Amino acid sequence: MGNDANSNRASSIPKVHSSSSFLTAAEQRKQQRKAADQKKENAFEFLVDLKDKDGLRPSEAGYNPRTCYIPPKAWASFTPFEKQFWEIKQDHFDTILFFQKGKFFELYEEDARIGHQEFDLKITQRVKMSMVGVPESSFDFWAAKFLARGYKVGRVEQSETALGAEMRLAASKTKKHEADKGKIVQRALSKILTAGTLIDEAMIHEDQAGHCLSIREEVKDGHQESPKFAVCILDASTSEFKLSAWTDDICRTTLETILRQLHIKELIFTKGMLSLATIRLLKGALSGQCLWTPLRDDEGHDENATIREVGRLYGGSDLNLSHSDSIPIAIRTLQDDHLAMQALGNMMWYLRTLNIDGKLLSMKNFQIYDPLSLSKGLMLDGQALAHIEIITNSEGTEEGSLLRLLCKCVTPFGKRLFRMWLCTPLAVADSIIRRQDAVEDIMNHPSFAETFTKLVKSIPDIERIVSRIHAGACKVKEFLKLLDTLERLDIGFKDIISGIGDFESQELQSVFGAIPDLSSDLNGIRQLFEAPQNAATASELVPLEGSDERYDEIQREHQELEDALDKELQKLQAKIGSKVTYWHTGTKEIYLVQVAPGNKNIPKNWTKASATKTANRYVVPEIAALVRRLKETREHRKTAIKDFTQKVFQHFDAARPLWTRMIRSTAELDCLLSLASASRAIGQPACRPKIVDGPVAFLNFKNLRHPALVLRNEFIPNDITLGAEGSGRIILLTGIIVGKSTVMRMTAVGVVSICSTGMHVPASEAQLSPVDRILTRMGAYDNMFSSASTFKVELDECSKILREATPKSLVIMDELGRGTSTFDGMAVAMSVLHELATHTQALSCFATHYSTLTDDFANHPSIRNMHMATVVDETKRELVFLYKLIQGTAPSSFGTHVAHLAGVPLSVVKRAETISHDFAKHLAEKLAHKKTSIPLITQANFSFLVRSSCNTTSRNGSGIRELQSLKTICKAISSCKLN
C-alpha cells in the first residue's frame, strides 16, 4: 500500500523537460510565463504561415501583400470584435489601421508592433491581440508620422454610438444569438491615407501641390527609341486630374519634363510593365520619399473596364463616351487611346481601394496635360528644368532655385500658380509686354501692394477647402472660415477697384474685370443656418427654422419631451414632499433626480446613482421611458444636423465656378505682386528688358548677374550678346572651367526670368527677342540600366537638341565629346558645332576643352571665341580667376596649374608640363603637314551650298532656317583667307 501511495504521489508531480530539470522553481515559472507570452504573440496561427487570399506566400511569385488569407476555422473562433477587425484587415493587410474605440484610436497585432518599434508607443496585450492606443484628438499627428515613414494609414470609424447600437438592436428582429454578435458597435473603414492622395487639411503641410502619378508604358517590338506613355496625374487636395498620352524619344524627354515640373509623391504602376530605361529615369527624377505602389496584372482596369466605369459615373453609354456631354472633355478626347484609358483606370481602381474615389471623381475636374506645348510659350524640358535649376537645385531641394528666388506670393494657391508660370513660360512678345506693363504698374503703386497683402495675408488655402467641401470632407469650422474669407475678399476687392482708377495695364484691368461679385450668393448660404456663437470652435450647422423640415419636426418632438419631463418633475416633488431638481452629467447620464439628504419619502424603486454632502441623485423609473425617448431624439437630431450640413455643402458646391473665379483672380494678382516684389529685391543695376519680336532670336545683356547671387557684392557681372548684329549667334567658350557654367546658366536664367515672368532683370541694359525653347546638355552620367555609356547618353541628348532646335531657340552645350577618345570626341564636337552654327542657327553657348575648334571656326561669322579671364603667375604656378567673360581664345586650359593648386606633387606637375608641351608640338606639326589650302569647315560649307543650289525649296528660301543657313554659309566662305 505504501508503494501505491508513493507511486500515486509521484504521478501527481508534473513532468518537466530534461533541459529544465536543473532549474529552480522560480526559473521554471519564468520559463512558463515566457512560453505563455509567446503563445499570446502567436495567437493567430494563420499569421505564422502567412499567405495572401490566393494562397501564395511572400516568397512566391504573384504574392499580393495587400491581402491576407484567414482559414474558416479561425473565423469560427473569433470574438465579435476580432471578426470585425479581420473582416477589414484581411483586405488591407499592408495598411496601418487605426480603429476608433470611443475617444481613442487603437492599433492591433502587427500594426501595434510597428507603432511600438517605429515610435516607441506603449504596447499592451488585450486577450489575444497586441494593442497600441492613441487619443482621438492626436490621430492626425500620428497618421502623419506613419505616412512620413512610407506607410499607408487607414481610419476605421464608429458608424454609430453605443446608444445607436442599442437602438439598432431594439429595432431589429434578429434571433438572440445573432443579436449578441451585433451588440458590438458598428465600424467602417472611412478612408485610407497615402502620401500622394491626401485631402484633409491637417495632413497636408505644404503649400505646393503633391501629386499621385499613374503611368503606363508600351514599347513595341523592343524598340526603346520611341516608347509610348500615358499618365493620369492627381492632385487630391484640389481634386484635379490631368491626362496625357504621347510617343516619347529615346531620352524620354516628355516623361522627364512631367517628373521635373510636378512634385510626385506616389507612383502607381503595373508590375513588370515598365522598361528598365523608364525605371532608371523614375528613380533618378523622383525623390527618395516617393511611394511606389505596384499593381498586379489582375488589378486595375483595362481600357473597356475603364470606359464602362466612366459611363457608370458620368452617364455615358457603354463603350462610347463621345456622345455624352456629361463626360469630361479630357476623357472624351483620349477615350480611343488605350494606354490613356488604362492609366486612368488604374487610378480609379486605386482610389476605390482607398475609399476616396467618389469624393474625387465626382468633381469632374479633368484636364489634358501637355508639358511641352509650344502654344503655351517657351518650352523647358526636364533637362533644362534640372540644369538651370528652375524648381529645385542639383541636390533636389528648392534652396537657390529660381522658384525660391522669385516666388514672393502670399497665398498658397498663388504659390502653386507661380510654379506653373515658371514651368510653362511665355514666349509671345505681346504677352510678355502685357505682363511687364502689369508688373511696372504695381511697382508704381506701392499702396496697392500694401493693401492687397493686408487683404490676403493669413487667409486659408481656400482652393483646397472648396475641393474638400465638394468631397464632403470639410469640417464645419473650416467651412465657416471659408465663408468669412470669401466675404473678406469680396468687400476688399470692391474697395480696391473703387480706388485704383489709374491702373493703365491691360493685364491688370483684365484680372480685376474677372473678379466676381459674391455678396448675394454668400448671403443666400448664410440664411440657411444659425450663426454660431464661436465660429472657430463650431462643430455643427444648426438649421434656421424653415430651412430643414426634418430637423424642425425633431426639434418639436424634443421640446415636447422636455416639457413632459418638467411636468413629471413637479409630480415627483409633490410625491416626496420636498424640492427636487434634475441633474445631468454630460450626455451619458441625464435627468437624474436630485434630492437633499435626509428625505424619508424616497420610493424604494428609485435607484441611487451618486451622492454628495448636499444631494443624493437617483434614477427614477417613472421618467425612464421619457428619458430614453429624449436620448433617441437627440441621436436623431445629430443625424439630421449632419445631413443638413451636407446639404449646405452641396448648395455651396453648386456655385463652385463662382468661387473658382475669385480664387483664380486672387492667385493671378498674387503672382503679379510677387514679380513686382522680386523685381525690387534684385537690387541694382536692374532694368525692364526691351522685347523685340522677329523671325530669329537674339539677346543682349549688359552687366548681367545671376539672380541667385545678386546680393553678393563680390559677384562680377558680364555682358552677354548673342544674335545681335555683328556679334555672332554662338559663343565658343574655351579655357579653364571656372565660371563657364555659371555664365551659361546665367544666360538661360536671364531668358527664363524675362520670358516667363515679365519682371525686371539684374542687368543695366537688356534687349532680346523671345526664344521658343531652351535646350541643354550639361554634365556626364551613364545609363547602366540600358547599357548606355556616358558617350551614348551625350549623343542621345545631342541628337535631340539638333532635331528640335530652331533659329529662335537657346542651346546650352557643355563639354560635348569627352566621353570617348580625344580625336573622336573632337570630331563629334566639331560636327555638332558646325551644324548649330551653319544650319540650325540657334543661339548657343558652346563650352569645350578642345581648343583646336577655335582655329577651325576662326572665320565663321556665327561663332565668337570667348573665355574667362585669368591672371597667371608662372613662377609660383598660381592662378587668379577674374570671372570676367572676355573676347578671344583662351591661351591655355591651365590644367597643370590647377593640378598644382589641388596639391599634386611638384615633380608630377613638372613632368606633366613637359609631356603636354611635347604633345601639343607634335600635334601641331602633324596637323600642319596634313593641312589643305582650304579649311575643312569651308569645304563642308561649299559642298552644302552647291547641293542647295540644285534644290528648288532651299534656293527659293521658303523656310527661315534654310534662308539663314545659306546666308551664313556665304558669309563663312567669303570671310575665309585661302592659302
**pLDDT by residue (tens digit) across 860-878?**
888 999 888 888 777 777 7
- The answer on pLDDT for 776 being more than 70 is yes
571 and 618 housed in the same domain = yes
Domain presence at residue 649: no
Question: What is the tally of structural domains in the chain?
Answer: 6
- Does the CA dihedral 828-829-834-839 come out positive or negative? positive
pLDDT attached to residue 682: 86
**CATH number of the domain to which 422 belongs:** 1.10.1420.10
| Packing angle of the helix pair 429-443, 506-513 (nearest 10 deg) | 80
Q: How far apart are CA 570 and CA 953, in angstroms?
A: 108
Q: Cβ(842)–Cβ(731) under 8 Å?
A: no
**CATH number of the domain to which 72 belongs:** 3.40.1170.10
Q: Rounded to 5 degrees, what angle do the CA atoms 40, 46, 51 make?
A: 145
677 and 813 housed in the same domain = no
Domain presence at residue 900: no
Q: How far apart are CA 705 and CA 516, in angstroms?
A: 41
Q: How far apart are CA 866 and CA 887, in angstroms?
A: 5
Q: Which has the closest alpha carbon to 590: 616, 609, 571, 611?
A: 609
664 and 799 housed in the same domain = no
Q: Which has the closest alpha carbon to 518: 479, 482, 473, 464?
A: 482
In whole angstroms, how far apart are CA 352 and each of 45, 192, 311, 359? Answer: 31, 10, 16, 10
- DSSP letters for 689-720: PEE---SS--EEEEEE--GGGTT-TTPPPEEE
Range with lowest mean pLDDT among 285-289, 882-886, 925-929: 925-929
Check residues 38 and 456 and name the one with the higher pLDDT.
456
pLDDT attached to residue 669: 96
Q: Assign 3-class secondary structure to 895-937.
A: HHHHHHHCCCCHHHHHHHHHHHHHHHHHHHHHHHHHCCCCCHH
User: Which residue do the cell numbers 501527481 mark?
Assistant: 12
Domain presence at residue 254: yes
724 and 667 housed in the same domain = no
- The answer on pLDDT for 632 being more than 60 is yes
553 and 531 housed in the same domain = no
879 and 944 housed in the same domain = no
Q: Cβ(574)–Cβ(582) under 8 Å?
A: no
Domain end call among 339, 372, 405 = 372
Q: Cβ(33)–Cβ(41) under 8 Å?
A: no
Domain with 760 in it:
690-891
Range with lowest mean pLDDT among 4-13, 175-184, 400-409, 921-930: 4-13
What cell does 390 get?
528652375
Average pLDDT over residues 598-607: 88
pLDDT tens sequence across 350-381: 999 998 998 899 989 999 998 887 556 789 99
129 and 268 housed in the same domain = no
- The answer on pLDDT for 152 being more than 60 is yes
Domain presence at residue 725: yes
pLDDT attached to residue 957: 40
343 and 404 housed in the same domain = no
- In percent, the amount of the chain with pLDDT more than 70 equals 84
Domain presence at residue 93: yes
586 and 674 housed in the same domain = no
Neighbouring CB atoms inside 10 A of 35's CB total: 10
Domain presence at residue 138: yes
- The answer on pLDDT for 8 being more than 60 is no
339 and 361 housed in the same domain = yes
Average pLDDT over residues 336-347: 96
pLDDT attached to residue 179: 47
Q: Cβ(565)–Cβ(620) under 8 Å?
A: no
Domain end call among 855, 876, 891 = 891
Domain presence at residue 927: no
pLDDT attached to residue 642: 92
Domain presence at residue 754: yes
Q: Cβ(644)–Cβ(546) under 8 Å?
A: no
pTM exceeds 0.85 for this model = no
189 and 212 housed in the same domain = no
**CATH number of the domain to which 301 belongs:** 3.30.420.110
Confidence at 901, pLDDT banded by 50, 70, 90:
confident
731 and 871 housed in the same domain = yes
Q: Cβ(138)–Cβ(155) under 8 Å?
A: no
Q: How far apart are CA 495 and CA 230, in angstroms?
A: 47
